[in-house]
Every structure is written in C-alpha cells, then in structure tokens.
Structure 1
Amino acid sequence: MTKLHNELLRDIGTLARTIHYLHDLHFKELALQRGQFIFLTRICENAGINQNDLSLLLKVDKSTTAKAVQKLTAAGYISRQRSSTDQRQWQLVPTAKARKVYEQIIAEENASLAICLQNFTPAEQKTVARLVQKMCANVQTHWRESKM
C-alpha cells in the first residue's frame, strides 16, 4: 500500500475546517449561514466585483458563488447593480448592514489568527505566512488549468 509522504495538507485542512466551524457558530447570530462570511468579506473588500471574479478570487465554482450571493442578497447584506461598462454584468455591492458586520468578522478572523500563531515568534509568523503564500502560488496554476 502506498504511504502518505507528509500529513501537512491534512493538518491544513483540519485547521481550516476547525476555524470555519468556530466562525460559523459565531456568525450564526448575524444570520450568516455556513461559509457566507468568506463571500461577504471579499465583497466588502472588493466592492463592485462581479460573480465570476468573486468565484475566481475564492477558488470556488460559479454555482456555489451564485447560491451565496442569492442568500446574502436576500438577507440584505449585498445588492446587485448593473455594471456601467457592461450591461450584461452585475456588480456586487455591500450594504450598510454588510459594512457594519464586516468589522465584527475581521475582528473574529484576527482573534482566530492570534490563537493559531500563539507561541510563534514574529520571525516564525512571517515565515509561516511566506510559506503558505508560496504554497498557494504553486497550486494556483493547477487550479486555473482545471477551470479552463
């Protein structure tokens, strides 16, 4: 039987699932359903982004983005506006309600990050960030090719 070379990706997956679970619990009071906070933060940070670009940014399929956008719109967190440059496209714009909860979401993400990096030196924190960014860049090309 083939043996796994390293459990790094399993550990990263466990870390991501645990943090998302805790965030989902915290954000339930904001009427945000599972994982919607990720979409909401990126729309707040990229006001006017279209659904296709949001999908690419988050590395999720278009149907997942469409469902999240629909739910966020229904909950009053975002609005859809026709693009002034291309009438076929819709731009996603955060509402005042979204901007208000954005601050809470970022505070929670910062708290989670502090927990993850406790007992790390500043140099270790920079190294982890650099290495994870490098891993993301390595898989970016493969992900893009799989979507073409």
Structure 2
Amino acid sequence: MMAIAEILRPIGEIARALDSVANIEFKDFDLAKGQYLYLVRICEHPGIIQEQLATMIKVDRTTASRAIRKMDMNGFIDRRADATNKKIKRLFPTKKATDVYPFIHRENLYSNKVALGGLSEEDSQLLEKLLLKVSDNVSADWEFVKKGHHRKY
C-alpha cells in the first residue's frame, strides 16, 4: 500500500503525461500549451466569465487572462459584454472553437479509455468517486491559499 504522501505523485505523473500528449496533438489547431482546457470549458459553458473559468481549471486570474487574450487573438473565442453589467465580459466559442471541440472531446474519451484500461466498470466508478472527493479536498485548500492564507502543515 502506498504511503499517503506518495498518492499525489502518480496523479501528477498522469496529469503531466496526458497534458503533454494533448499539447502535442492539439498544436496543429494553433492551440498553445494548455489552451485546450480553456476551449473545452468555454464550449461546454458558453457565456462563462473569466473568473469562473479560472476557478474551474484552477489557475490564477493572470494566467487565465493571458490565455484568453491569446485565444481571442487566434479567433477561438468571442468576448461579449454582459447584458446588465457592461464591465463583465462573457466568453463564447467561435465557429473555429466549435469545429475543434469534437476532436478534443474524442481525444479526452480515448485518454480516459487508455487510462482506465484493465479496470472493471465498478473500479472505474469507484476511482471517479474517490478522485472527485480528492479534488474537492484540494479545491478547498486552493481557495484558502488563493485568498492569501497559509496552510498549517
């Protein structure tokens, strides 16, 4: 059995490996590193605001702003003022984004299939449930630290 401290290593390795593969495969679509994450969320949540998007993918505002700006320049997103508050910019996918989205979605399904190879349906569902719990735990700490607090080890 793995020690508690070692559980995060394979999670990190999996995330980095799949992110690296995706960045290589999506380069042909003019998506820079990690931009596929933004594109997917914007396609799945048209009209999302930058702050919600940053929280969803666990990045700071500056990182999200930089990626969104580049995606806007490359024609993947359309920024529109909110109907009630003109300062709020809502993010919508362009045709270019919706054309790329199905390929990214297929890659995600394939990566899930590969990652879960050899696991039963029951094991896969249990793993999903446990990882969602781990994600919730980490999200709470992420929010805490993001607000300027320090965790006590």
For the criterion TM > 0.5, the same-fold answer is: yes
Post-superposition offset of 1:5 = 4.4
**What corresponds to 2:129 in structure 1?**
130
Q: Which runs of 5+ in 2 are unaligned?
A: 148-153
Which residue of 2 is the match for residue 55 of structure 1? Answer: 54
2:24 equivalent to 1:25: yes
Task: Work out the CA distance in 1 between the residues paired with 2:137 and 2:69.
Answer: 32
Aligned to 2:68: 69
CA distance in 2, matches of 1:16, 1:8: 13
Letter in structure 1 aligned against 2:35: Q
Once the two structures are superposed, residues 29-76 of structure 1 have per-residue CA deviations (whole angstroms, 9 ceiling, x without a partner) of 101011100000001111111111111111100011001101111111
Give the 3-state SS of the residue equivalent to 1:6 in structure 2: helix
Which residue of 2 is the match for residue 90 of structure 1?
89
Q: Deviations over 1:90-147 (max 9, x none)?
A: 0111001101100100100110110000110000000100000010111222111122
Partners of 1:57 and 1:20 in 2: CA distance: 16
The whole-number CA distance in structure 2 between the counterparts of 1:64 and 1:80 is: 17
Code of the aligned partner of 1:92: L
- 5 Å-filtered alignment, 1:7-18, equals 7-18=6-17
Any idea what SS the aligned residue of 1:91 has?
A: strand
Deviating runs (4+, > 2 A) in structure 1? none
Which consecutive unaligned segments of at least 5 residues does structure 1 have?
none
**Count of aligned positions:** 145
State the SS of the aligned residue for 1:67.
helix
Q: Which shows bigger deviation, 137-146 or 19-28?
A: 137-146
Please give the alpha-carbon distance, in whole angstroms, between the structure 1 residues aligned to 2:141 and 2:58.
11
Instruction: Give the Å deviation of 1:15.
Output: 0.5
Indicate the SS of the match to 1:79.
strand
2:79 pairs with 1:44 = no
RMSD: 1.0
Question: Partner of 1:115 in structure 2?
Answer: 114
TM-score scaled by length of structure 2: 0.91
